[in-house]
Amino acid sequence: MHYGRKTFAKSPLSPTLQPYDQNYNQNLGQRAFIAFTDAKEINEMYCKGICPKKLFCLHGGYTDPKDCTKCRCPDGLGGKLCNEVAPSASNCGQGDLRAANKFVNLAMNGASECNYRITVPEGKKLTLIVDQANFDGGAGKQAACEENFVEIKYGANLEMAGARFCPRSLNGPTEIQSSKSVYVIYKSQKNESEFSLRYKIDA
């Protein structure tokens, strides 16, 4: 939680904060919710002794102090040990997806919460292109993507939030490459929201 990237800027064209990865521009300034890593640190500090036996949680998850039989998982991940894709609303379609040699499309619209995991064969890379991300109340109305967005997790550390996209329209397709599984999180409370992307195994 911090100021937006253009807060206190002398000009809208000269932001005061810049992420190393430009795909994270619209993450800056998100103040609606604390980060998963912050919640994890607080729970480990104040609830450390509640669960006598710690679970072997994967991908940065940790033993849930309110239910010691399961893990609390980073956004987009689920299952007892955070080794599965998180559950989705009934209208989201299949959550576990596998990349092929040709582009496969993934799109969603309307008010919903969806989680997808895209995997590639061992030793291969994934190319993902975000073609569209139209969200009512997007970047033109808010400093950061907070409640209506599509998030792409493609980094090695799945505890961290992925790159969020919430403009009314993208300035052209955005290409992302990864050698690991990629998680796509769609959250919207607006019927007008929509996104589309395509993905394939990198040649």
Q: Are residues 136 and 158 in the same domain?
A: yes
Query: Can you say whether the dihedral through the CA atoms of 87, 124, 99, 186 is positive or negative?
Result: positive
Instruction: Evaluate whether 68 touches 51 at the Cβ level (below 8 Å).
Output: yes
Q: Are residues 97 and 173 in the same domain?
A: yes
Cβ contacts of 195 within 8 Å, gap of 6 or more? 107, 108, 109, 130, 132, 133, 134, 135, 150, 165, 186
What confidence tens digit (pLDDT) does each residue in 3-15 have? 555 565 666 666 6
Q: Are residues 59 and 141 in the same domain?
A: no
**Residue for token pair 């300035």:** 171
Which CATH number does the domain housing residue 103 bear?
2.60.120.290
pTM tops 0.85, yes or no: yes
What confidence tens digit (pLDDT) does each residue in 107-142 have? 999 999 999 999 999 999 999 999 998 886 544 444
Provide the 3-class DSSP secondary structure of residue 86.
coil
Q: Are residues 143 and 77 in the same domain?
A: no
